[in-house]
Amino acid sequence: MQALISAKELHALLDQQNVKLLDASISFQIPSESKKITDKWIPNTYRFDYDNDFCLPDTSLPHMMPTEAGFNASAQKLGLNNEDLIIVYDNSGTLASPRGWWMLKAMGHENVKVLNGGLPAWIEAGLPVVDSLAKPEQLGNFAGKLNKNAFLDANAVLEYSNNCSAHIVDARSRARFFGEVPEPREGLRSGHIPNSLCLPFQELLDNGYIKPNSELKQAFSELSLYNDNSIIFSCGSGVTACILLLAAHQLDLRNLSVYDGSWTEWGADCSLPITR
């Protein structure tokens, strides 16, 4: 199933009762991100907050995937149901929303899509907006089962790095990947995971839209990612890695995972090897 939906396609679905819209915008500024639209939403949008609600508590790492029970509880509180078609978007393009999409996919919810171009695309199409979020009126029945291979920890990534049994693809800029500039988060080493590849997420976007499949295919082909190996996507903190993963999904690539801690974890742990 293709993961993207256009503003026009979404507008045609809004009257359906089982359609749920989620704002998965993130508070911090992503590199090269356009200005966030923080005071407008598509009508009947609920807040999918993976910094405070859909996250793992009691960890210093940001927006980590919660436990199965934790995710289900938050989803039910938000009024999500197993039978819903869920559309995820963000307020500055297609940047943070793929993370929300992948979290739902990881919980086994297949009927989920990303609004390509996000809220700016909706506004550009001249479609209606409101100035407040919707509030759930009742608990939902969402009950997902977590795919433990969807998000990997540092130990698993280290093993894949050592034996080269999977592709590890980093969504950060080449300057960060090669350790030519300091990391934006304090206290992190510069460089990359040994035996990993670099595919900056910006190269898969065009003015906030995911590029057409033909262009995505070229980017993935240049890294020789078309084989049977699993692909693990990494970035700064597990958000923009999901842009790459969504693109891979669009190309029907399989066995896809995100290194959840990403460079925020790897760069801070001096026991883990780095390459420049």
Q: Any idea which residues carry the catalytic annotation?
A: 235
- How many whole angstroms separate alpha carbon 188 and alpha carbon 178? 14
Category of 208 on φ-ψ map: left (φ > 0), alpha (ψ -120 to 50) or beta? left
What is the DSSP code string of 33-69? PPPP--S-B-TTEEE--TTTTSS-SS-SSTT----HH
Angle between helices 241-250 and 213-222 in degrees, nearest 10? 110
User: Residue 160: helix, strand or coil by DSSP?
Assistant: helix
Identify residue 206 by its one-letter amino acid code: D
In contact, 86 and 112? CB cutoff 8 Å: yes
In contact, 219 and 261? CB cutoff 8 Å: no
| DSSP 8-state symbol, 46 | E
Around Cβ 125, how many Cβ atoms within 10 Å? Answer: 13
In contact, 76 and 139? CB cutoff 8 Å: yes
Q: Give which of 165, 166, 201, 196 is closest to 273, Cα–Cα.
A: 196
Strand partners, 205: 210
- Burial class of 63 by CB neighbour count within 10 A (0 to 12, 13 to 18, 19+): buried
How far is C-alpha 272 from the geometric centre of its chain's CA atoms?
24
